Amino acid sequence: MKVETQGSIGLENELTAEDVASADMVILTKDIGIKFEERFASKTIVRVNISDAVKTR
């Protein structure tokens, strides 16, 4: 699993074209807009709320 974050400090751990090409699916938040979302056009996309994707214990 690879995780790219986009937030107030910018884009971190940006996925490479190879990362995207080898992905079976992509999980995106529905809480904020995603920069460069067109990279995932050929992938199965699952949209979740940030709070559902990131749980702290």
Name residue 57's amino acid: R
- Residue type at 1? M
List the alpha helices (DSSP H) in the chain. 17-22, 50-53
DSSP bridge pairs for 10: 7
Q: What are phi and psi of 19, to 5 degrees?
A: -60, -50
Please, are residues 23 and 43 in contact by the beta-carbon 8 Å criterion? yes
d(CA 38, CA 43): 10
Condensed to tens digits (0 to 9), the pLDDT of residues 4-28 reads: 999 889 999 999 999 999 999 999 9
Reported as a single tens digit per residue, the pLDDT across 25-44 is: 999 998 888 999 999 999 99
